[in-house]
Amino acid sequence: MIATITHQNKTFQVNLSKPIDISLPLSNTEKNPIAWYIEKPQIEPVRFGSWVGSVKGGATTNFNNIFFNPHGHGTHTECLGHITKEFFSINQALKTFFFTAQLISVQPEQHGDDFVITKNQIEKAVGNSNPEAIVIRTLPNLEEKKSKNYSHTNPPYLHEEAATFIREKGIQHLLIDLPSVDKEKDEGKLLAHKAFWNVKDVNNLNTDARKNATITELIFVDDEVKDGSYLLNLQIASFENDASPSKPILFQIL
């Protein structure tokens, strides 16, 4: 299914039958990735006394409750409500779902005990392109990313200046294959989150904070997907919450 898209004075084609899914599946198994010190997700049939909501257990339908955390259990998209005192909802922040995107690969640099993605690396990788979304694949691109328990591992993160650069480039949506754009244990500084959303005071939001910009974490981009320009379809479940599980999909530009 070929679609011809006209956007910002350019026309290009994509094949909608060839989606590149960059989300992680969410399951109640040991394979599910974890961050932020929680346990794996739970997916269990509803029970009313001896009645069990599963066809195997005698019910007419499978009827599961799911207990999970959007930030800690897989691919999710968040808005600035993740860090502000005032409530902001991802379902209100994200109202359109197709964007031009640039996929880049970067090897975080060792700075002391940390691995950091720098402004210089992002600037070089983005080059002259002006995408609406940036998709960051970190190297090495290990399979273990799909099922890693990141708790207490001090994963790589984005330097504040790199996040500022992305904001100043006018990029609205940032996607990355790490549990956070910030250092795991940073005493709540959240420098990259604040720089990307232009949040100056979490208690009293500045009017130029970027209420419609989003961060998507815990994606996975397979090695066979080459760096370059794509069409991104960024879909969430309609949760009125700071974050929702999400399903970002890339389409190669033909």
Binding site for ligand NFK (CB under 6 A): 36, 71, 180, 182, 184-188, 190
Q: Which one, 49 or 188, has the nearer CB to ligand NFK?
A: 188
Q: Which one, 168 or 186, has the nearer CB to ligand NFK?
A: 186
For the CB of residue 178, give the shortest distance to ligand NFK in the complex, in Å. Answer: 9
For the CB of residue 182, give the shortest distance to ligand NFK in the complex, in Å. Answer: 5
Q: Which one, 72 or 131, has the nearer CB to ligand NFK?
A: 72
Does residue 223 come out as left (phi exceeding 0), alpha (psi in the -120 to 50 range) or beta? alpha
Q: Which one, 71 or 137, has the nearer CB to ligand NFK?
A: 71
Q: Which one, 100 or 216, has the nearer CB to ligand NFK?
A: 216
For the CB of residue 82, give the shortest distance to ligand NFK in the complex, in Å. Answer: 7
Which residues, listed in sequence order, are joined to residue 10 by a DSSP beta bridge? 7
For the CB of residue 189, give the shortest distance to ligand NFK in the complex, in Å. Answer: 7
Q: Which one, 157 or 251, has the nearer CB to ligand NFK?
A: 157
Q: Which one, 76 or 137, has the nearer CB to ligand NFK?
A: 76
For the CB of residue 3, give the shortest distance to ligand NFK in the complex, in Å. Answer: 33
Q: Do the Cβ atoms of 98 and 129 come closer than 8 Å? A: no
Write out the two tokens for 119.
């402004």
For the CB of residue 188, give the shortest distance to ligand NFK in the complex, in Å. Answer: 4
Q: Do the Cβ atoms of 33 and 25 come closer than 8 Å? A: no
Residue nearest to ligand NFK (CB): 180
For the CB of residue 93, give the shortest distance to ligand NFK in the complex, in Å. Answer: 16
Write out the two tokens for 208.
């130029």
CA 117 to chain centre: 16
